[in-house]
Amino acid sequence: MTQNRCDYSPSTYSVFQGGANGTLAPIAPGPAGYILSSPMGGGALAYTNANEAWELLSTASPSSAASVAFTSLITTVANVYVVTFSNVQTLSGAGLYMTISSDNGSSYSSTNYLSGVNYIYGGQTAFTNFSTGGTTAFLISEGGSAGGGFSGMVWLYNFGNTVATVPMITASTVAQGQLLYASGINTYPAPYNAIKFTGGGVFLSGTISLYRIRS
């Protein structure tokens, strides 16, 4: 147990963290430009790139999937998350919707949503109100024709807090030659920690990724 003695001389520039059975475990210096940080959910310290503000949490590549959900990933570490869509195609071309959960995906809220989408075609000079999303889900994007694809991103605010908060979203997508902007809130405060996307009957292909924005 020499590492617990006051006269212990560690390697030059070592950092210590608590180890098993009350011991101290040295951490060697990391690469240039990296910082020590605690991973999501706790655990041992690890080096992360200080210049990478976006942390990839998970990626899904749906194929004939009715929905895509992200659970066990939205925590109290940050309150801004981004979901990106890359050439996601749906079977029927219906709109893209998102629902939220406060029990890590065991159930999803179907009430208290307020959202809407505006769009503009190439060559147009003004946006048109496409639709409001109703109260059962966030409307993210119009799907276009059957088999049509869309790409873009959704920003999530006030998610993952331990206290009840009102979640908000903004989104920008491109689908079938249209540029679409969406925004919305859910008026019921809760510690939301999971999200699920549906629409178009079935997701045929594409990539959907969830990122955490480091503050």
What pLDDT, in 10s, does the model give residues 71-90? 988 876 566 899 999 988 88
CATH number of 54-213: 2.60.120
**In the chain, where the domains are located:** 2-49, 54-213
Q: What is the DSSP string of the chain?
A: -GGGSTT---STT-EEEE-GGG-EEEE----TTEEEEPPTT--S-EEEETT--EEEEEEE--SSEEEEEE-S---TT-SEEEEEEEEEEESS-PPEEEEEESSTTSS---S-EEEEEEEEETT-SS-EEEEE--SSSEEEE---STT-EEEEEEEEES-S-SS-B--EEEEEEEETTEEEEEEEEESS-B---EEEEEEEEEEEEEEEEEEEE--
Give the best-scoring range by mean pLDDT among 11-20, 45-54, 202-211. Answer: 202-211
Q: Is the pLDDT of residue 9 over 60?
A: no
Q: Residue 1's pLDDT is what?
A: 46
Query: pLDDT digit string (tens) for 142-169?
Result: 765 555 678 999 999 999 878 888 999 9
Choose between 42 and 132: higher pLDDT: 132
